Amino acid sequence: MAQISLTLPDGNSRSYDAGVTPADVAADISNSLRKKAISATVNGQHWDLQWPIHEDSSIALHTMKDEEQALELVRHDLAHIMARAVQEIWPDVQVTIGPVIKDGWYYDFDRKDPFVPEDLALIEKKMKEIINKRDEVTTEIWERDKAIQYYKDRGEPYKVELIESIPGDEPLRMYWHGDWQDLCRGPHLQNTGQVPADGFRLMSIAGAYWRGDSDRPMLQRIYGAAFTNKEGLRKHLNMLEEAAKRDHRKLGKEMDLFHMQEEAPGQVFWHPNGWTVYTELQDYMRRRQRAGGYQEVNTPQVVDRKLWEQSGHWDKYQEHMFIVEVDEEHAREKAVNALKPMNCPCHVQVYNQGLKSYRDLPLRMAEFGSCNRYEPSGALHGIMRVRGFTQDDGHIFCREDQIESETAEFIRFLSTVYKDLGFENFSVKFSDRPEKRAGSDEVWDKAEAALLAATRAAGIEPTLNPGEGAFYGPKLEFVLTDAIGRDWQCGTHQVDFVLPERLDATYVGEDGSKHRPVMLHRATLGSFERFIGILIEEHAGKLPFWLAPRQVVVATIISDADDYANEVVAALKAAGVRAETDLRNEKINYKVREHSHGKVPVILAIGAREVEEKTVSVRRLGENKTSVTSLDEIVTELAKSATPPDRL
């Protein structure tokens, strides 16, 4: 039998017969490793212990201490164990797919009667019984015809359709967890007992169309969360509990910021308090962009389809666009327009007005551009995922030799904005060419190389996010981590050689000839709606004082203090602080509770002593203690706190 060489992580090599499995290798190294091994990485691929190796390879064996691999296996096995449990309880249920997702897994089922929340406890109990059985997990390779017939015989049409949609005629892998079987690429653990029975929880039930197609059957999806131990699950559940307290929809209602309603799905009705936050943030960004050399523009909301066809958006993005048909002066054929889903083609139109010279570049153009994109109703989520939104959008028209310096300058700009808004750290993802794209491979090679080199020159080594670039160019994604550990992708920066070509943007070079500019698409916050939602949840509603919509409430303890309360509010307003009185005939404790619930940062209480001494009693949100200070001192202090960070 042919021999192969396997190279271990320490650089040592061992010879084995071709077809050796990672389980064999683990047993050869030590009996202890044989018992602890759960999977392997072979030539960079996650590998089941049962899979044979037929060629010289690198190999690393994993145990439950290897968090990344262990989590993938535990979550993947739990998807199968849950599906088995469901079919053991309700044999008529048909199974579809059950992938691993962030923090856990889900599985989609076709069941005549809907699942109810009480079913989750029943399924969990059955899952733990399966885990305790320590049933062996085995795998086989089947020919396609055999697999199709097997599922037809078992009345599993969804599995038949999945197999028929897999391209090529390659054999298929089957897995058994005990006597329950599923079509699966693997890898998996070696027995059901390796799954920590106290490390998972079934979380929720939702609807999901088969293969995401609204014309196909509606399935029932069960979500689960899983970790390698009880402590990991506990931390996750605590995080979810904290996230629920910070939910921007809940806090938005408590703070009277906004509302949504069925008559305008995915659109925000901003209330005065919410619009104050919005405009303060927008004014801050406007000042920062002006200081950064951006020229602000404003472009139309409704644009003829001809421009979208020319730019490529009509072909690549039409399913997300709102189409507007207009009967132009009763013409025989209606004019077809679209609400703009992004601003870039319109910015090229502004650039194209008048001749541009190499001396004019870089030209930095910015717009608080209102955009509309169709999102399925099931994907909408408060103000985080909407159909109508405003971007702090910008486009930099530059020469190729300016890509590096402009990228570095934008990263510096974005870093200082995030720091001003309370986010000291962020990570960067590099998203390369998607499957559906415009432009030649040669152009994409050049764009990807330029953006990656510029990012590294700025001192950042991004992580790869394969296939997630825009259809016209690669992009950087800037990811914030909030106070409870959640990641939010906000800013973007993209290199685009395609749109300037398609929309005929040019400049006159130093040689007197016409050249194509490079277009850098950039956004710092992304959409204002989503970023405000992130800020609300990051700060649990306790927004930085300069952004808080209601900064100070001056609450009277006695009616004789009303005149002085009005005097205090006038002084605060004159100093640039948003202040209001509460002169109601209510007890001060009631007023404090009410305004604290509304997340007012500072409450100034005024009674007889404060009137006599020209002082105020200060109570800050989240603090139980109060302090007494003079009117002049509190006005000076709060005026400074109310100053936006770029003006300090």
More confident residue, 330 or 167: 167
Coil, helix or strand for 602? strand
Q: Which residues contact 459 (CB under 8 A, 6 or more apart)?
A: none
Mean pLDDT of 340-346: 94
Q: State phi, psi for 244 to the nearest 5 degrees.
A: -65, -40
Rounded Cα distance between 293 and 272, Å, is: 31
In which order are the strands placed within the sheet that holds 172-177?
Answer: 137-142, 172-177, 180-183
DSSP lists the bridge partners of residue 493 as: 476, 522
Q: Is residue 202 within 8 Å of 220, Cβ to Cβ?
A: no
Binding residues: 344, 395, 521
Cα angle value 409/414/416 (rounded, 5°):
100
- Within 461-600, strands assigned E span 463-464, 475-481, 487-496, 507-508, 514-515, 518-527, 552-556, 579-582
| Stretch (H or E) spanning 588 | helix 588-597
Q: Kindly tell me if the per-residue pLDDT of 330 is higher than 70.
A: no
Mean pLDDT of 132-148: 93
Q: Is residue 526 within 8 Å of 490, Cβ to Cβ?
A: yes
Helix axes 403-420, 441-457, angle to 10 degrees: 50
Report residue 331's pLDDT band, with 50, 70 and 90 as the boundaries.
low
Q: Kindly tell me if the per-residue pLDDT of 321 is higher than 70.
A: yes
Report residue 115's pLDDT band, with 50, 70 and 90 as the boundaries.
very high
Mean pLDDT of 149-172: 88
pLDDT at 473: 86
**Domains defined along the chain, listed by start:** 3-63 (3.10.20.30), 92-244 (3.30.980.10), 258-298+355-539 (3.30.930.10), 550-647 (3.40.50.800)
> What one-character DSSP code corresponds to residue 334?
P
pLDDT at 363: 97
More confident residue, 147 or 168: 147
Q: Identify which of 339, 238, 361, 240 has the alpha carbon closest to the alpha carbon of residue 293.
A: 361
Report residue 169's pLDDT band, with 50, 70 and 90 as the boundaries.
confident
Q: What is the dihedral of CA 537, 541, 547, 549, to 10 degrees?
A: 130
Burial class (CB in 10 A: 0-12, 13-18, 19+), 284: buried
Rounded Cα distance between 641 and 551, Å, is: 10
Q: Kindly tell me if the per-residue pLDDT of 279 is higher than 80.
A: yes
Mean pLDDT of 478-498: 90
pLDDT at 327: 75
Query: How is residue 446 written in tokens?
Result: 């050049």
Report residue 526's pLDDT band, with 50, 70 and 90 as the boundaries.
very high
The catalytic residue positions are 344, 373, 391, 393, 395, 475, 521
Rounded Cα distance between 555 and 29, Å, is: 75
Q: Is residue 134 within 8 Å of 191, Cβ to Cβ?
A: yes
> pLDDT per residue over 59-93, tens digit each?
999 999 999 999 999 999 999 999 999 999 999 99
Mean pLDDT of 532-537: 96
DSSP string of 271-317? -HHHHHHHHHHHHHHHHHHHHTTEEE----SEEEHHHHHHHTHHHHH
% of the chain with per-residue pLDDT over 70: 99
Binding residues for Zn(2+): 344, 395, 521
pLDDT at 332: 65
> pLDDT per residue over 582-617, tens digit each?
999 999 999 999 999 999 999 999 999 999 999 999
- Within 32-168, strands assigned E span 39-42, 45-47, 57-62, 94-95, 100-101, 104-110, 137-142
pLDDT at 440: 84
Bond preceding residue 462 cis, omega within 30 of 0:
no
Q: Identify which of 549, 410, 533 has the alpha carbon closest to the alpha carbon of residue 482.
A: 533
Q: Is residue 181 within 8 Å of 118, Cβ to Cβ?
A: no
> What one-character DSSP code corresponds to residue 132?
H
Rounded Cα distance between 227 and 64, Å, is: 11
Q: Is residue 569 within 8 Å of 428, Cβ to Cβ?
A: no
- This prediction's pTM: 0.85
More confident residue, 90 or 457: 90
Q: Is residue 157 within 8 Å of 183, Cβ to Cβ?
A: no
% of the chain with per-residue pLDDT over 90: 81
Q: Kindly tell me if the per-residue pLDDT of 328 is higher than 90.
A: no
Helix, strand, coil: what percent of the chain each, to 5?
A: 40, 30, 35
Q: Kindly tell me if the per-residue pLDDT of 138 is higher than 80.
A: yes
Q: Kindly tell me if the per-residue pLDDT of 199 is higher than 90.
A: yes
**Amino acid (1-letter code) at residue 420:** D
Residue count (the chain)? 648
| Stretch (H or E) spanning 14 | strand 13-17
Rounded Cα distance between 475 and 470, Å, is: 7
Task: Kindly list the distances between the CA atom of residue 577 and the CA atoms of 642, 643, 644, in Å, as whole numbers in the listed order.
Answer: 6, 9, 11
Q: What is the dihedral of CA 326, 327, 333, 339, to 10 degrees?
A: 0
Task: Name the average pLDDT for the chain.
Answer: 93
pLDDT at 539: 94
CB atoms within 10 A of CB 205: 16
> What one-character DSSP code corresponds to residue 102?
T
In which order are the strands placed within the sheet that holds 552-556?
Answer: 579-582, 552-556, 602-606, 615-620, 626-630
> pLDDT per residue over 411-431, tens digit each?
999 999 999 999 988 999 999
